Structure 1
């Protein structure tokens, strides 16, 4: 198993999404992604980065003395060394989450890690890349996220939630795609249909806009 990774950035901020929203968190953003979602807000992580060993990343993370650590991208599972990194973070006692597109298998992820599965809606342009076997592996500690660009995405997401019984398995997150769907519009749809899902917006963007490293 490789022991080095290409890292775009390691930074300390407030978690802007998912179950631990608002908590101070260390983010480890890996470089590279096989997808090109039309609404992607981290295209700067597609290329470049700095090569670090797993041990080097653990040392940088430890300098912040965090409780929460999120490994993100890009697509972190595109780098095989992310698996020993996740194991090492868990061994250090952190509460670890992995943000993944769902286009690569989560089969070998350390079971102590909370998987945040960003299932791709048709409006992303990448829904054909979804690996639906990842849904079958979701547990109560995991979360599944739908980034919604329009009503068609909303209806598609509702269908997936119903088909797989997702609200009985883990937290389900509905997010408006920035610049494509007004947050209030999505909120109104959820309330109208009485969906048992969590509406979320990106807290870090409310606070700091699109500033990198926030």
Structure 2
């Protein structure tokens, strides 16, 4: 069944920038940031997206995305899957032949996400304050086109993430990203730990923050 274009979504912003994270880092990308999130991670840099925004039809979102003339689209939040019409938007973007990625907290079910979408799934660490919200069954829905991301506050988070990585053999499922919390964990220290422990992960720094400073970036 073809997804409906008749729905509406609460949208915090739609903007064009360079992708600052994941394997798509540096690519010109349209970001559709949806409003709302059931989590409250201590390091969140998009708290302004927790509420507010504008109610926009899916048709108008697709039109706005098309106006930027790029093939890469990231649907993010907040937590985009907190709005049920997000699934329809993702499928319609895929139908329009965009290369689509979804940034999700991992706390909500991803099993119904269009298989053409690249899921960027966070695993929340103890330092986030939301580790108990991890929905581990989501790992069964991942394929090699998806990515798992750990955002690390400190060495305790790092050691916890290493244990999860090894116990669940995450690198055999999809690429794994280790990212330091901006301004809290020294990226060089994280790099040294990864090299010391010979981890099969990608150390990720947020390109947009290197370019434009603290905040979500443009």
Q: For this structure pair, what is the TM-score category when the shorter chain's length is used for normalisation?
A: over 0.9
Q: 2:7 corresponds to which residue?
A: 3
Q: 1:185 corresponds to which residue?
A: 189
State how far apart, in whole Å, the 1-side matches of 2:72 and 2:216 are: 19
Q: 1:199 corresponds to which residue?
A: 203
SS of alignment partner, residue 13 of structure 1: strand
State how far apart, in whole Å, the 1-side matches of 2:216 and 2:74 are: 16
State how far apart, in whole Å, the 1-side matches of 2:217 and 2:164 are: 33
Are 2:45 and 1:41 aligned? yes
Q: 2:152 aligns with which of 148, 166, 186?
A: 148
State how far apart, in whole Å, the 1-side matches of 2:46 and 2:188 are: 24
- What is the CA-CA distance between 1:210 and the residue it aligns to? 2.8
Q: 2:126 aligns with which of 115, 122, 125?
A: 122
State how far apart, in whole Å, the 2-side matches of 1:201 and 1:122 are: 20
SS of alignment partner, residue 64 of structure 1: coil
Q: 1:161 aligns with which of 160, 165, 186?
A: 165
Give ranges in structure 1 of 5+ residues lacking alignment: none
SS of alignment partner, residue 63 of structure 2: helix
State how far apart, in whole Å, the 1-side matches of 2:50 and 2:123 are: 19
1:159-213: per-residue Cα shift (whole Å, max 9, x none)?
1111111111101000001122111111110011111100000000000113555
Are 2:113 and 1:109 aligned? yes
Q: 1:20 corresponds to which residue?
A: 24
SS of alignment partner, residue 98 of structure 1: strand
- What is the CA-CA distance between 1:137 and the residue it aligns to? 1.1
State how far apart, in whole Å, the 2-side matches of 1:212 and 1:71 are: 14
Give ranges in structure 2 of 5+ residues lacking alignment: none
- Is contact 2:45-2:215 (8 Å) kept? no
Are 2:177 and 1:173 aligned? yes
State how far apart, in whole Å, the 1-side matches of 2:215 and 2:59 are: 28
1:135-159: per-residue Cα shift (whole Å, max 9, x none)?
1111000000000111111111111
